[in-house]
Structure 1
Amino acid sequence: MTEEDVGPGSAWFVGEDPVAAIRDGSATAPADWPRIAVESGAAGDRDDYYRRLKDATTAAAREAVRERERADDRQLLHAVRAMDDADRTANELAERLAEWGGSLFDESGSGVEYAREVAGRSPAGPAEDRVVSLARRVVDLAEEARDLESFIEGRAPVAAPNLSALAGPVLAARLVSLAGGLEPLAKKPSGTLQVLGAEDALFAHLRGHAPSPKHGVIYTHEYVRGTRPEDRGSAARALAGKLTIAARIDHYSGDYRPDLEADLDERMRAIRERAAGDEGGPDA
């Protein structure tokens, strides 16, 4: 925006959308904007100009934060954390329920499946009533965790198509959550992505108390978990490298690139063929 653009009807000062002007407007060169605003009649004086500017910039910042928090990757972050919390709480309460239920009922059991059995009982007395009620809460939490997983499986391929294709929707969402968002994940080197979720082991290694971790949460991927222990480091590096590329494509362009999957499959095939060759060597 130039000085010629600023006048009584300028969007910068008196338009209908000052927030858009703050966020998207530009100027070719610095100018004495308070003076221009006063002379154009857009502001009564310099104090009025700065008051209105503060209101517009505050509104623009709030709108930017609102948009960021509603973004798909932020929804994945919240969903995967909520899923983990619901799942963990359900299992913890199921342990408590097993102890309590075992003191009242002839049948014993453990876990959420036992909670389902207890939840279907007709209580006899106040104590049983509370145990059955607790069992139903456990079942509700377990079902909420599964519903959240279904939400993630449907939302992750939209928010991060390449990352989801390579890692699977849930692992992709977990990586986004651990990094704090898709943008921070896209900016991390592959070595950092490789050990996300293994921070305790990494800090222990940095203090000299443990070996360097080879992988973090990506261990749950079949290409790492299903590879023999001596080759898991290579598998984890290969997977982390492709996941890093996928995250960057998802953040900066968003287009789906199936060749990434083919490249990863080929790399993992080479690692596993090498392992098969070692096992079938002369000493086998």
Structure 2
Amino acid sequence: MAVLVTKWFGVFLADEKSNRVIAYRLMPKDAEACAEKLAEVQRGGILPEERELAQGRQRLSVGDRRQAELGRPMLYDSSYIVPEDYGFGGDFMHEVMLDLGRLRTSEPMARDKNLVQAIRSLDDLIEVSNLMSERLHEWYGMHFPELADIAKDDRYAELISRFGDREGVVEELGLDIESMGADFEPDDMRAVQGLASGLAEIYRERKETEDYINAVVADVCPNMCAVIGGPLSARLISLAGGLERLASLPSSTVQLLGAEKAMFRHLRSGKLPPKHGVIFQYPDLRKAPYWQRGNIARALAGKVLIAAKIDEYGGEFAGDRLNSELKKRIAEIKKKYPDPPKKKPRQDGGRPNHKGKGHSKGKGKRRP
């Protein structure tokens, strides 16, 4: 049986039993042209040379899953095909690889890759804003502690940044309130306002990043958005490292994305395994009683994976249908498992184990 093998210096048709090259087509001796061929291979395309050698062969095996449309993929050791036998040396390979690297890095970036970076940027902004907000509340709370009950988050930072003294804040809000806080010196107040101004700017950046993420998600993965919404779709894509990788994962892995620490803890110490990861943010899963969450999480992960595959590989929009099927499945789970499972009785009848503390070993003689 013939095996089709592609290497950086050419495409080869080899005999599986004798390890002999039957036919071959070499790559161009121009480094840039050779790099373009290899870039097409890395993108998952089929080279014209591969189609030419595979043409007319009924029983053909291929050494790469990328070539599956040409034949049956198999593991084949082609190490005996070396570049020096065909006039290709190490210096030329070095030149080709440099051109290949430049070519691939200059290619347009998929939008889901930008989405991954945007989600991580948003996480950083949330972490920084939480820390700064905690510091601002503690610092300005010595001057006007009552404001924390009146204004929240970005509004709190904006009021302090604009007015500083509690008199200006009270006037802006139209309140009649007597504060228990202490007075600040002008220099102290300017320092607090500087912190508040920086925090207000971070809140504005958070809002802009969230708007950008929602717009990209709606464009990149409309089916996932229809099933679980934009923010959760973006979070799953970020955890997976991209939409392409998410679409290639098994549903059990999608179900546990974001719960890696809990899974490692289970494997290390034998504690109960997690039932779900970040998909716990899905409202119907979060609100469900604990004994229904495992089944709901499995159903949700399955539909999310189908939606991700459709979005990645360009199928027709099916988000509304998937969402309807998911809602129906969740209703069936709730109907089938309305009550928590009953605890199984202990096999030993509940008697305590006396092999703990106070149990003496090796003392006395065993009765016959």
TM range (shorter): 0.7 to 0.9
Specify the code of the residue in structure 1 equivalent to 2:110.
A
Indicate the structure with greater helix content. 1
Partner of residue 155, structure 2: 113
Counterpart pick for 1:139 among 189, 200, 214: 200
**Partner letter of residue 329 of structure 2?**
R
Q: For 1:117, give the aligned amino acid.
A: L
Q: Paired residue for 2:326? A: 264
**Against the structure 1 CA distance between its residues 21 and 199, is the aligned structure 2 distance closer, same or farther, given a 3 Å change threshold?**
closer
CA contact (8 A) 1:98 1:108 kept: no
Which residue, out of 173, 194, 198, partners 2:255? 194
Residue number among 99, 104, 109 corresponding to 1:64 in the alignment: 104
Percent of residue pairs bearing the same amino acid type: 32
Tell me: CA distance 1:196–1:19, structure 2 relative to 1, closer, same or farther (3 Å): same
Equivalent residue runs for 1:1-284 within 5 Å: 12-14=28-30, 17-24=33-40, 25=47, 27-28=49-50, 50-67=90-107, 70-105=109-144, 107-109=146-148, 111-122=153-164, 125-208=186-269, 210-258=271-319, 259-274=321-336
| TM-score computed with the length of structure 2 as normaliser | 0.62
Greater strand share, 1 or 2? 2
Which amino acid counterpart does residue 119 of structure 1 have in structure 2? S
Q: Which residue of 1 aligns with 2:43?
A: none
Contact 1:234 1:271 in 2 (8 A): yes
Q: Cα offset for 1:255? A: 3.8
Shift of 1:166: 1.2
In the TM superposition, residue 243 of structure 1 has moved relative to its aligned partner by 0.9
**Cα distance in 2 for residues equivalent to 1:192 and 1:98:** 40
SS in 2 for 1:120: helix
CA shift for structure 1 position 107? 4.6
Q: How far off its partner does 1:113 sit?
A: 3.4
Instruction: Give secondary structure in 1 for the equivalent of 2:28.
Output: helix
Moved more, 227-236 or 70-79: 227-236
Counterparts of 2:229 and 2:263, CA distance in 1: 25
Q: Give the 3-state SS of the residue equivalent to 1:264 in structure 2.
A: helix
Do the aligned residues in 1 keep the contact of 2:32 with 2:96 (CA within 8 Å)?
no
- The residue identity in structure 2 corresponding to 1:85 is D
Q: Which amino acid aligns with 1:55?
A: E
8 Å contact from structure 1 (residues 19, 56) kept in 2: yes
Partners of 2:141 and 2:315 in 1: how far apart?
A: 53
Q: Retained in 2: the 8 A contact 1:95–1:111?
A: no
CA displacement at 1:174 relative to structure 2? 0.6
CA gap of 1:111–1:157, structure 2 versus 1, over 3 A, is closer
User: Can you give the 5+ residue segments of structure 1 that lack an aligned partner in the other structure?
Assistant: 38-45, 280-284
| In structure 2, C-alpha distance between the alignment counterparts of 1:168 and 1:105, rounded to whole Å | 39
After TM superposition, the score normalised by the length of structure 1 is: 0.78
CA change 1:80–1:208 in 2 (3 A) is same
CA distance in 2, matches of 1:5, 1:186: 34
What whole-Å deviation, never above 9, does each CA across 1:86-128 have from its counterpart, x for those lacking one?
0121111100011111234465426443222212215762221
CA root-mean-square deviation: 3.3
Deviations 1:164-202 (A, max 9, x none): 221211111111111112222222221111121122222
Q: Could you say which structure has the greater relative contact order, defined with CA pairs below 8 angstroms and 6 or more residues apart?
A: 1
d(CA) in 2 for partners of 1:5 and 1:80? 45
Q: Measure how far apart 1:23 and its partner are.
A: 2.2
Aligned residues: 263
Q: Which moves more between the two structures, 121-130 or 181-190?
A: 121-130
